[in-house]
């Protein structure tokens, strides 16, 4: 039997799909070229705090010269006191120099150091004065890069070519938010328009990367846009019932100062946060629902619309329970420490439930769950309409 060579991670891609992926890559590059030009012509020219004399540079602990430490009076095993350390600077104006730093270990700022530890040094160097050095934190740059690489390797190893495309979609989304959504919000552009623009671009690129430029991708994209549009109406209703807006964020006081100088729309920031956090769940649901419906129509072309709808809703019901639970538990997990602090203050139930913080967390969880639930009928009905009118593409077209 003749052996055929095939890349285990990136299988042979048909020319038609290769052209589609090339077009997607070109479109993504065009988006980032536009954002680069836009950011160059619209620099962030207002800062609440001018930190030009402060830098955060990399360093490595060469030696602990002396230390006076004692155990904290609890079971944590942490040490309190001071260390005098010798640090070799690895970046910044002091690169190559060795400097001595007093490292104070307190309850709030506890960073015990040993020779060989990589750290970030806060350098405060005002004009006509000696620089002041302090330990900011451990240097987590290398660790962050390493765990990201491990995650990507697992994603590609398990998902193969789709895992690679998923990783590219994640990278596109992060870059779009960092260099598109955030700067435009900062400069006072409409948060609602910026949000929907981000949703449209992210959904188009991510779904196209996963499924190519196909009919199913268009169905999924339409489902995402219709689903998020429907959820927006519930957002308006729920925020009216809870009397919530972006002004209820803890950071609203600082953002008010920014708003007075840049036109930042604080009130709509809550909408942006809620919708962006729900987008991944909506895309997941539409993809997970449309795939079995297309598969059923492909295997059984004579299947009726009523049967497809019934099957789609049964699948959706099973998925909605677990996905909604996942979203709500994710928000609870992220707010666990804050809830413990509130509990330690003896906060009453009515006070706890009516606090701005808890109301915002509840809104995030509920809107995320509503996004999942509403995407079910939208995806099922759109997929059924398309399949009954045009039929299902062949398996080769969908999975090659």
Would you place residue 355 in the very low, low, confident or very high pLDDT band (cuts 50, 70, 90)?
confident
Share of the chain above pLDDT 90, in %: 44
What pTM does this model have?
A: 0.83
Helix ranges restricted to H, the chain: 15-41, 141-176, 182-186, 191-211, 215-242, 252-262, 269-299, 305-334, 336-344, 349-354, 356-390, 395-399
Specify the higher pLDDT residue, 127 or 222: 222
- Three-state DSSP at 52 gives coil
Query: At residue 219, what are phi and psi to the nearest 5 degrees?
Result: -60, -45
| pLDDT band per the 50, 70, 90 thresholds, residue 14 | low
**Does an H or E element contain 88, and which?**
strand 79-89
CA 379 to CA 289: how far, in whole Å? Answer: 7
Exposure b/e, 350-389, CB count within 10 A at least 16 = b: eeeeeeeebbbbbbbbbbbbbbbbbbbbbbbbbbbebbee
Q: What is the pLDDT of residues 100-127, one digit of tens each?
A: 999 999 988 899 999 999 999 999 988 8
What digits encode the pLDDT tens for the residues 319-334?
887 787 877 787 778 7
The proportion of the chain whose per-residue pLDDT surpasses 70, expressed as a percent, equals: 92
- 13 band by pLDDT with thresholds 50, 70 and 90: low
HSE value, Cβ hemisphere, 13 Å, CA-based, for 302: 0
User: Is a pLDDT exceeding 50 seen at residue 387?
Assistant: yes
Task: Give the mean model confidence (pLDDT) for residues 277-294.
Answer: 88
Reading the block at residue 152, the tokens are: 């990507």
Q: Given this model, what pLDDT does residue 7 score? A: 46
Greater confidence (237 vs 10) lies with: 237
Mean pLDDT of 155-160: 89
Contact, 230 vs 275, CB < 8 A?
no
Position 122 scores a pLDDT of 94
Distances (CA, A) of 324 to 81, 153, 321, 397: 47, 28, 5, 32
| Helices 356-390, 305-334: inter-axial angle, 10-degree rounding | 160
Structure tokens at 255: 């953002």
């Amino acid at each position: 039997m003749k052996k055929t060579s095939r890349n285990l991670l990136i299988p042979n891609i048909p020319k038609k799909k290769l052209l589609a992926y090339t077009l997607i890559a070109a479109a993504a590059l065009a988006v980032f070229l536009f954002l680069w030009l836009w950011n160059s012509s619209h620099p962030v020219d207002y800062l609440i705090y001018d930190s030009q004399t402060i830098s955060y540079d990399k360093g490595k602990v060469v030696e602990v010269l002396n230390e006076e430490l004692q155990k904290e009076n609890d079971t944590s095993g942490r040490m309190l006191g001071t260390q005098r350390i010798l640090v070799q600077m690895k970046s910044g104006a002091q690169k190559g120099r060795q400097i001595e730093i007093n490292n104070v270990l307190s309850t709030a700022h506890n960073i015990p150091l040993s020779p060989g530890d990589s750290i970030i040094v806060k350098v405060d160097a005002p004009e006509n004065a000696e620089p002041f050095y302090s330990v900011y934190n451990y240097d987590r740059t290398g660790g962050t890069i390493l765990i990201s690489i491990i995650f990507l390797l697992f994603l590609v190893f398990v998902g193969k070519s789709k895992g690679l495309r998923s990783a590219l979609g994640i990278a596109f989304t992060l870059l779009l938010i960092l260099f598109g959504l955030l700067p435009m919000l900062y400069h006072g552009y409409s948060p609602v328009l910026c949000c929907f623009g981000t949703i449209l671009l992210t959904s188009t690129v991510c779904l196209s990367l996963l499924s190519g430029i196909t009919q199913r991708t268009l169905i999924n994209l339409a489902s995402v846009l219709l689903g998020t549009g429907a959820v927006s109406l519930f957002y308006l209703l729920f925020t009216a019932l809870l009397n919530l807006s972006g002004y209820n964020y803890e950071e609203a006081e600082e953002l008010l100062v920014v708003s007075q100088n840049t036109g930042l729309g604080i009130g709509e920031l809550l909408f942006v946060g809620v919708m962006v956090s729900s987008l991944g769940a909506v895309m997941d649901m539409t993809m997970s629902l449309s795939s079995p419906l297309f598969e059923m129509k492909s295997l059984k072309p004579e299947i009726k619309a009523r049967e497809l709808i019934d099957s789609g809703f049964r699948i959706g019901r099973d998925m909605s329970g677990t996905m909604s639970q996942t979203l709500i538990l994710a928000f609870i997990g992220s707010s666990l420490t804050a809830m413990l602090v509130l509990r330690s203050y003896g906060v009453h139930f009515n006070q706890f439930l009516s606090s701005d913080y808890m109301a915002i967390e509840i809104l995030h969880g509920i809107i995320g769950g509503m996004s999942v639930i509403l995407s079910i009928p939208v995806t099922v009905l759109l997929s059924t309409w398309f399949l009954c009118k045009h039929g299902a593409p062949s398996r080769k077209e969908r999975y090659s």
